[in-house]
Homo-oligomer: A and B are copies of this chain.
Amino acid sequence: MKIHVLAQRTDLTPSAIRFYEKEGLLDARHVQRGQNNYRDYYEEAVEHLLMIRKVQAVGFTLAELKEVIQAYEVNDLPLSKKIELLNQKMQEIDRKKDELEQVHAHLARMLANKMALMDSIEKGSQPK
């Protein structure tokens, strides 16, 4: 699959995909070069890029992402360290879940406030 097609399927731009590759987020499992030097992507790359987008959307940096990807794939790290890193990142996700819930609760309080204000207006009374 050529870069333009992958871009469409992941809602990214070809430039962004090349950028991720330069940053070390894509490897031989995802891309290969044709005889013309064009990048040729495997089907696997689609899911990989969609995962990158999700990871980004929840506030992780590309550097953190690269750390996990490399820790997983590269063989110069002891298995125990890889497992440790994965567990640590999963804990970070749990923290982020808590934070999301706190933000949600905050917005819900703001909403309740406005709803109450709206009700009082409907009833014809004059709010502050």
What residues of chain B lie closer than 8 Å to A103, measured between beta carbons?
51, 54-55, 58, 93
Q: Does A57 contact B (CB under 8 A)?
A: yes
Q: How many copies does the complex hold?
A: 2
Contact yes or no, A90 B107, CB < 8 A? yes
Q: What bracket does the count of chain A residues touching chain B fall in?
A: 35 or more
Contact yes or no, B111 A79, CB < 8 A? no
Contact yes or no, A86 B110, CB < 8 A? yes
Interface string of A40-51 (1 = CB under 8 A from B): 000000000001
What distance in Å separates the Cβ of A23 from its nearest Cβ neighbour in chain B? 18
Given A54-B99, A118-B79, A93 and B87 touching (CB < 8 A)?
Answer: no
